Amino acid sequence: VNYGYLQLNLAQNYLACKDTLNSITTCKNIIETIYDRVASLNGRTKGLGENGNHIKLSAKQLLAQINQNSNPGLSATLCEEVILFNDENNDFIEGAKELAYGLIKQLYILHQDNPTVQKVYDNIVVNDNIDYSDRKSDALLGLIDFLKQTLFAGNVDEQTVQDNLHLIKDDQLRIIFDEFKAKLLNNILFLTEEQRESYFNAAQRSCFRPMFVSTAAEISQKGSLNAIAYDYLLLTKSILLASSTGLSDIVYQSNDKELIDLFERVKNYHEDYSPNQIESYEHDILRKSRDYSDFTKNLQVTWKDVQEKLNDNEVALEFFVERENDLNEYGVLLLRKQWEYPRFVDLASIELAIEEFGFPRMANIWKILLNEELIKEGDTIFMSGAGVLQTKWFEHLEMEPGVCFSDLCHVVRVTSTREIVRQRTTTELERKSVILFGGLDYDEKETAETTLPDEEVEIFRGEGDDRYRSGFERLIYSQKEIDAIQSIAKNNKIKCKEYQGRYGTEQAVRNLSGEEVGVLHFATHGLYYPETHPNVTNDNPYRQLFNNSNCLNRSFLVMSGGNALPQHKKVANSYSDGLLTAAEISHIDLHNVNLVVLSACQSAKGDISNEGVLGLQYGFKKAGVNSILMCLDNVDDHATQIFMEEFYKHLLKGLSKQESLKKAQQFMRTNTDEKYHSPEYWANYILLDSIE
């Protein structure tokens, strides 16, 4: 019996990991071995009893799943045997009959020309009278999984699916989702950061995937299903970031010196401890934090909470992307104050469309939403992006010659539309001070050229041409930029401090930990290296960054002394190598910082995931920063100086971050120098999580 269960367990794991581990053939052989062995043992011995029957039935279920494409007739026969056995033995395995029933229907839709499938379908399904109105979780989710697969099969007409959608009771699915959410959030409370990531990856349920649930809602006209899909996005999007920052907020707001000291010791000196020590300390932090509050509170936000915080001329957009048929399929859920439920629009494969028609054609997405009157001119749109939409200036696409979408509607980028609730129920940090990093010396000695370059020569605040080998050029206009901002701050009686030359070090940033800062500004080189960078060679001083499994080490700001690596004076990832990585930033306490301005190339880039863009922005958000102004691509040194001066003229006079950004962009679009009218000089700047 033990052998049978262990082998069955192994087979189930192989099946679950079939895309990355052993082949489906290996899995099939293992299951067939169990099946034959148990059948043989049962023939000779009665000692196995119910255990033997359980193993056989489970093996048949797995075999049915494995053979559904390669041998649909066998799969249908096995499902029939499972159903008949369960009928004869009073539902021997709870939910097994319903799961098999769903698979038979799926087989019939996809393989109805197979005579065995047709026969089993006629015997089992046509005469079946299963009532799905009161179904256990596994059974209902099994039915949903079946409908999801048939819906996206590609050769199924909507009427066939429509005939079965009535079986999904939205109130039952809501109960199951709420149970799933409660269990997930309760378990997270007791898990370390690393454990939370592993647990969440294992706990996700494909049956709640918005693409299926919302498509089902559209076909069945059950808007309440869209509400479940929206709540799933609110729960899962950036869940690890939200739980991490939630815990950090509780710790610092507790004023518990012992708890804060322990928390900072783990954050700042994590490399000094063994994994077991860190895990032990983290559990102590979790236990103590529960005395003060629940760090999953922000994850308990529902679509109703978001709707309540919206004004009449505002709309929340939750974009999402899912992998279907080897393509990234996009969708968006929209929410207005006046609607009974959220609404859904299928956007198909945006990446494929960009490849075929070009990025500017993506303006059609906005045109669709306008034509269907889901959004209106003059609206404020809170947009939580997904996939490629997080890496493009999507809100500034041209609708007609000379008119961008941002001229028609005001778009506010947010990590998740949870931010609407969080920021509209808390008081924004005051802008009491401005701290500036710029005009930095990247060589260890102050020998850099200080004369202004030819106006026609563009110097970028990033990698440039092979620059990673020879070192980073000094950014002359970054010095002018921070001097101008300091002057604006002084005129508005705002405290300001500059770190320039050789004083803008990594340590200077770390020393700001816990400080109340209105605006933290970096005017320097910024870089993001994809994991598969083309220039990974043995003589590349950054090769340790390329090969680092932690993607937050592949995004960084170049600080004073940042040429130590190209000049082979430091080792990558050392504590003072002159490169302030996103990983290092995430360990600094910046929860009292209102706004970070990254006046640097590629500062909005990073690896794309369900957590968002894993780069500098993720590092700063994890450190606790409220909002971030950053750049999607390379930026010209001189153009950036002009843009930032204009932004601060308005910001430090008291205008909102959003208004100040819009005015700076408009200034560039109407500048006397026509080259700045191009979107690359103004549309690349994006502001994240500024709800005001």
Instruction: Encode pLDDT of 592-612 as tens digits.
Output: 999 999 999 999 999 999 899
Query: Residue 619 — φ and ψ, nearest 5°?
Result: -60, -45
pLDDT at 95 over 60: yes
Average pLDDT over residues 43-57: 61
Least Cα distance to 552 among 464, 622, 633, 631 occurs for 622
Please enumerate in sequence order all residues whose Cβ is within 8 A of that of 555, keeping only pairs 6 or more positions apart, or say none.
526, 527, 528, 529, 581, 582, 602, 605, 606, 614, 615, 616, 619
Average pLDDT over residues 467-486: 83
Beta strands (DSSP E) in 248-391 are 314-324, 327-336, 343-348, 380-384
Q: How confident is the model at residue 29 (pLDDT cuts 50, 70, 90)?
A: low
Question: Can you read off the two tokens belonging to residue 535?
Answer: 């220039």
Q: How confident is the model at residue 456 (pLDDT cuts 50, 70, 90)?
A: very low
Distance CA 221, CA 61 (A): 33
Top pLDDT among 231 and 328 is at: 231
Average pLDDT over residues 465-478: 69
| pLDDT (tens digit per residue) in 106-151 | 787 678 789 998 888 888 766 655 444 434 454 455 556 555 555 5
Choice among 220-229, 482-491, 617-626 with the minimum mean pLDDT? 220-229
Question: Can you read off the two tokens belonging to residue 562?
Answer: 């940042």
User: Of the spans 19-28, 37-46, 98-107, which averages the highest pLDDT?
Assistant: 98-107
What pLDDT score does 92 carry? Answer: 61
Please enumerate in sequence order all residues whose Cβ is within 8 A of that of 116, keeping only pairs 6 or more positions apart, or say none.
72, 73, 74, 76, 77
Place of tokens 């010209």: 636
| pLDDT (tens digit per residue) in 623-670 | 999 999 999 998 888 999 999 999 999 999 999 999 999 999 999 998
Collapse the DSSP code of 339 into the 3-class scheme (helix H, G, I; strand E, B; otherwise coil) and give the result. Answer: coil
Nearest-5° angle of CA 197, CA 203, CA 204? 100
- Do 94 and 141 touch, CB atoms closer than 8 A? no
Q: Which long-range contacts (CB under 8 A, 24 or more apart) does 549-552 make?
A: 550/583, 551/606, 551/607, 551/614, 551/615, 552/581, 552/582, 552/583, 552/586, 552/614, 552/615, 552/618, 552/619
Q: Residue 153: what residue type?
A: A
| pLDDT (tens digit per residue) in 361-370 | 889 999 999 9
Task: Give bridge partners of residue 411 from the DSSP assignment.
Answer: 381
Average pLDDT over residues 385-395: 92
Residue 274 CB neighbours (<10 A): 8
Q: Residue 429: what residue type?
A: L
| pLDDT (tens digit per residue) in 373-382 | 999 999 999 9
Task: Give bridge partners of residue 331 from the DSSP assignment.
Answer: 320, 346
Distance CA 486, CA 477 (A): 14
The percent of residues in the chain predicted with pLDDT above 90, rounded, is 47
Average pLDDT over residues 385-400: 92
What pLDDT score does 376 carry? Answer: 96
Distance CA 662, CA 653 (A): 15
Q: How confident is the model at residue 493 (pLDDT cuts 50, 70, 90)?
A: very high
| pLDDT (tens digit per residue) in 496-535 | 999 999 999 999 999 999 999 999 999 999 999 887 665 5
Q: Residue 95: what residue type?
A: G
pLDDT at 42 over 80: no
Query: Residue 244 — φ and ψ, nearest 5°?
Result: -65, -50
Task: Give bridge partners of residue 607 from the DSSP assignment.
Answer: 614
Average pLDDT, the chain: 82
Distance CA 12, CA 204 (A): 17
Specify whether the backbone of 332 is left (phi greater than 0), alpha (psi in -120 to 50) or beta: beta
What pLDDT score does 73 carry? Answer: 93
Maximum CA pair distance of the chain? 94
| pLDDT (tens digit per residue) in 394-420 | 999 999 998 999 999 999 999 999 999
Top pLDDT among 599 and 215 is at: 599
pLDDT at 23 over 60: no
Q: Residue 647: what residue type?
A: F
Q: How confident is the model at residue 352 (pLDDT cuts 50, 70, 90)?
A: confident
User: Of the spans 173-177, 433-437, 459-463, which averages the highest pLDDT?
Assistant: 433-437
What pLDDT score does 668 carry? Answer: 94
What pLDDT score does 67 carry? Answer: 81
Q: How confident is the model at residue 270 (pLDDT cuts 50, 70, 90)?
A: low
What pLDDT score does 472 carry? Answer: 86
For every residue of 173-232, DSSP letters joined together read: HHHHHHHHHHHHHHHHTT--HHHHHHHHHHH--GGG-HHHHHHHHHHHT-HHHHHHHHHH
Choice among 231-235, 525-529, 575-579, 650-654 with the minimum mean pLDDT? 575-579
What pLDDT score does 421 carry? Answer: 96
Task: Give bridge partners of residue 440 from the DSSP assignment.
Answer: 501
For every residue of 616-652, DSSP letters joined together read: HHHHHHHHT-SEEEEESS--BHHHHHHHHHHHHHHHT
Average pLDDT over residues 234-249: 95
Burial of 643 (C-beta count, 10 Å sphere; 0-12/13-18/19+): buried
Distance CA 118, CA 105 (A): 10
Least Cα distance to 593 among 281, 126, 248, 114 occurs for 248
Task: Give bridge partners of residue 523 from the DSSP assignment.
Answer: 599
Collapse the DSSP code of 691 into the 3-class scheme (helix H, G, I; strand E, B; otherwise coil) and give the result. Answer: coil
Q: How confident is the model at residue 469 (pLDDT cuts 50, 70, 90)?
A: very low
Top pLDDT among 155 and 105 is at: 105
Question: Can you read off the two tokens belonging to residue 118?
Answer: 């047709």
What pLDDT score does 556 carry? Answer: 93
Top pLDDT among 567 and 111 is at: 111
Distance CA 348, CA 368 (A): 13
| pLDDT (tens digit per residue) in 301-318 | 999 999 999 999 999 999
Q: How confident is the model at residue 155 (pLDDT cuts 50, 70, 90)?
A: very low
Beta strand 433-440 pairing with 593-599: unpaired
Count H helices, E strands: the chain? 28, 18
Distance CA 37, CA 668 (A): 76
C-alpha torsion sign, points 63, 65, 70, 75: positive
What pLDDT score does 15 carry? Answer: 60
* Measured CA distances, 312 to 208, 316, 476 (Å): 29, 11, 47
